[in-house]
Amino acid sequence: MKSYFLALCLIVVITLSCTKEELNTKIDETETEVKLLVLSGTDFFIEKTIDHTYLFSVVRANDTLLLETNDTLQGDYKIVSFNTVVNQKSAVIQYTLSNKTYSSKSGLITIQKDSIHKISAKLNAVIIANNNTQDSLLLDSITLEDVLVYSNTSLSDMEDEDIEALLTEIYTKELPIFLQYQFLFDSFYTNQITEKPFGSKTDLNSHTVKSTNIDLDKFWQSIYSTIHWANRLAEVSALTYKDHPNKLNSKLAEAYALRAYAYSAIINWFGNGPMLLKTITNIPELEYKNTNEITAQITKDLEFSIQYLPSNFTKSENRITTDFAKVLLSRIYFMQNEYQKTIDILETIVSENKYSLSNSVKTPKTSELLYSYGFNFSSSNTNSAIINSLNNNYNLSIQSLNISRYSEVLLMLSECYNQTNNVTKAIEYLDKLRTRSQQPIISPTISKSELSKTIFKQYQNELQLDGNRFYILKAFNKAIDELNIENYQLILPIPKSEIELNVNAKQNIGY
């Protein structure tokens, strides 16, 4: 969405058209509340707070349009908050069901749900600037998916199944978008995938990304969308499990780990950004935090997560566990040259004897994976579109992202022991990997600097297309030489849309 629309008074026209099959479904006009509504493309949500029901669109990562109604889905809608620059706003809501249209300038809208509390519809939205009808943005072919409806349920009344439904939404519809954009940028920016001549990713290969890059904007939004939903998970869990501390700590741990993972991408790729620790309703002028400040929060979140996350989930795939949280925190310490802290964490993983190396680097078995995200490539699933496109256009066959492997644990330990002058332990861990790949073992007389170079080369051999190469290059201070870039290119530009939206946002030096 173009940023200049965010600073104008808006008229919102929303049209929903149900399919013929759905129109024949028995209509239930009882008071019903929608807590979560997910759209592919642009996100619209209906949420219940203690006093109000809100229908709001997350248009930008740090700005929200809220439409307020009463506690049912029928009532007067008004815009509560959109952009802090604009004080007066107005909206016309148009709702179409079958051949009947409900519309008024006051925003009166009647929403009816079918008897099984499900709606699947196509959304077409036209956003028109109030003072210039020629300025408009058409959002077309956006599909509603999985409308979850609950009767007379507030956030404080949510139950286990509601929290699990929210987690399902996060892991199947929010996290995969973030993971795919992170993978896309890491693969092209580090030249693991080479764009074809005149292709759309040549600026990533050549490290000439501009703030107007569409993928850059979507990458940024995917990160903050993940953060938003992690914060939402923490908030609803605090209400739902206020009298059940064990359940509460478990859900908070998962929320904080998700948030920390997303913020790790912010410091790795952008260096700074707004630090949101709760969901935003009235949008302030969000203050930017630097790398050190965000890193401190990541550390705090992960320390809590490591304490309370389970070691595995028996009934669900793709969920973050305590071992992956340990790896995330180790990456933070490793980047800060906190070698002993890194050793202390990673040795707890080794001592479990839970993981082992596969016979092949290219086809790791489950026993080597600390965290892997598998994608659903069915025709009805749009949340694997980026990976699917890469597979089709670049002769790849990616089915899942192996985000953290046991080999990474061994490599980090090897370098940490090397840097703390324990050459014997450093060689011990490195030789496990070299033996697996049938390479010569390391001489015990090798120098510290040569051993570090050897470990780095092993990283390049072991960990490919895992979405983590850029971090490794920077952790070893190799990014500038390996990628032939300048210092300012160690981070990307802040998206232009974010600069225009947030008065506190400043462009990174060099861009």
Could you tell me which residues are beta bridge partners of residue 65? 57
Three-state secondary structure of 120-175: CEEEEEEEEECCCCCCEEEEEEEEEEEEEEECCCCHHHCCHHHHHHHHHHHHHHHH
In this predicted structure, what is the pLDDT of residue 157?
A: 56
**Helix ranges (DSSP H) in 273-355:** 291-308, 322-335, 339-351
Residue 507 is assigned to a structural domain of this protein: no
In this predicted structure, what is the pLDDT of residue 154?
A: 45
In this predicted structure, what is the pLDDT of residue 165?
A: 84
Residue 161 is assigned to a structural domain of this protein: no
In this predicted structure, what is the pLDDT of residue 416?
A: 98
Q: Are residues 145 and 174 in the same domain?
A: no
Q: Are residues 218 and 263 in the same domain?
A: yes
Residue 39 is assigned to a structural domain of this protein: yes
Q: Are residues 100 and 199 in the same domain?
A: no
Distance from C-alpha of 333 to C-alpha of 331, rounded to nearest angstrom: 6
Helix, strand or coil, per DSSP, at residue 458: helix
Closest CA relative to residue 48, chosen from 17, 22, 71: 71
Residue 47 is assigned to a structural domain of this protein: yes
Q: Are residues 457 and 326 in the same domain?
A: yes
Q: Are residues 462 and 440 in the same domain?
A: yes
Residue 327 is assigned to a structural domain of this protein: yes
What's the CATH number where 408 sits?
Answer: 1.25.40.390
**Look-up of token digits 């693991």:** 192
Closest CA relative to residue 458, chosen from 423, 430, 419: 430
In this predicted structure, what is the pLDDT of residue 124?
A: 36
Distance from C-alpha of 274 to C-alpha of 277, rounded to nearest angstrom: 10
Last residue of a domain, one of 154, 186, 201: 154
Q: Are residues 190 and 147 in the same domain?
A: no
Q: Which domain covers residue 8, as residue numbers?
A: 3-154
Q: Are residues 132 and 204 in the same domain?
A: no
In this predicted structure, what is the pLDDT of residue 43?
A: 37
Distance from C-alpha of 128 to C-alpha of 198, rounded to nearest angstrom: 34
Closest CA relative to residue 261, chosen from 365, 344, 176, 342: 176
Distance from C-alpha of 290 to C-alpha of 17, rounded to nearest angstrom: 45
Could you tell me which residues are beta bridge partners of residue 15? 124
Residue 509 is assigned to a structural domain of this protein: no
Distance from C-alpha of 100 to C-alpha of 118, rounded to nearest angstrom: 19
Q: Are residues 192 and 327 in the same domain?
A: yes
Distance from C-alpha of 325 to C-alpha of 317, rounded to nearest angstrom: 16
Distance from C-alpha of 461 to C-alpha of 483, rounded to nearest angstrom: 17
Q: Are residues 410 and 316 in the same domain?
A: yes
| pLDDT by residue, tens only, the chain of 511 residues | 223 222 222 222 222 222 222 222 222 333 333 333 332 333 333 343 334 443 433 333 333 333 333 333 333 333 333 332 222 223 333 333 333 333 322 322 233 333 333 333 333 334 333 344 444 333 333 333 333 333 333 445 567 888 888 898 899 888 999 999 999 999 999 999 998 877 789 999 999 999 999 999 999 989 998 998 899 899 889 888 988 999 999 999 999 999 999 999 999 999 999 999 987 644 446 789 999 999 999 999 999 999 999 988 765 568 999 999 999 999 999 999 999 999 999 999 999 999 999 888 877 888 899 999 988 776 656 678 899 889 988 988 888 899 999 999 999 999 999 999 999 999 999 999 999 989 999 999 999 999 999 999 999 889 888 899 999 999 999 999 999 999 999 999 999 988 887 888 899 999 9
Q: Are residues 249 and 317 in the same domain?
A: yes
Number of folded domains in the chain?
2
Q: Are residues 207 and 240 in the same domain?
A: yes
Last residue of a domain, one of 154, 186, 218: 154
In this predicted structure, what is the pLDDT of residue 380?
A: 57
Q: Are 345 and 333 in contact (CB under 8 A)?
A: yes
Distance from C-alpha of 218 to C-alpha of 258, rounded to nearest angstrom: 18
Last residue of a domain, one of 110, 134, 154: 154
Instruction: Report the run of H or E that residue 149 belongs to, with start and end.
Output: strand 136-150
Q: Are residues 436 and 494 in the same domain?
A: yes
Q: Are 465 and 192 in contact (CB under 8 A)?
A: yes
In this predicted structure, what is the pLDDT of residue 503?
A: 80
Residue 508 is assigned to a structural domain of this protein: no
Q: Are 194 and 230 in contact (CB under 8 A)?
A: no
**Look-up of token digits 């953290």:** 404
Q: Are 195 and 201 in contact (CB under 8 A)?
A: yes
Looking from the CA of 327 toward its CB, the CA atoms found within 13 Å total 22
Residue 511 is assigned to a structural domain of this protein: no
